[in-house]
Structure 1
Amino acid sequence: MDAWEAILLVIATIGSVAAAAGAWFQERRSSAAQLAAVQRKLDLVMGHLGIASPEEPEVVRLLENGQMIEAVRAYRKQTGASLLEAKQAVDRIAAGR
Structure 2
Amino acid sequence: MDFGTVVALIIALVGFGLIVASRRDQRGSREAARLAAVERKLDAVMKHLGIEEPRAAEDPDVVAHLVKGEFIQAIKVYRERTGAGLAEAKDAVEQIARQRGLR
Category of TM-score, reference length = shorter chain: 0.5 to 0.7
Long gaps (5+) in structure 1? 47-51
Q: Which one scores higher on RCO, CA 8 angstroms, separation ≥ 6? A: 1
**Secondary structure of 2:84's partner?**
coil
Q: Does 1:66 align with 2:80?
A: no
Aligned to 2:60: 57
Superposition CA RMSD, Å: 3.5
The percentage of aligned residue pairs carrying the same residue is 33
Structure 1 stretches of at least 4 aligned residues deviating more than 6 Å after TM superposition: none
Q: Counterpart of 1:92 in structure 2: which amino acid?
A: Q
Give me the TM-score of the superposition, normalised by structure 2.
Answer: 0.60
Equivalent pairs, count:
86
Greater mean alpha carbon deviation, residues 63-72 or residues 1-10: 1-10
After superposition, residues 84-95 of structure 1 pair within 5 angstroms as 84-95=87-98
Find the counterpart in structure 1 of residue 18 from structure 2. 15
* Aligned partner of residue 78 in structure 1, secondary structure: helix
Look up the match of 1:49.
Answer: none
- d(CA) in 2 for partners of 1:13 and 1:57? 53
Q: TM-score when scaled to structure 1? A: 0.63
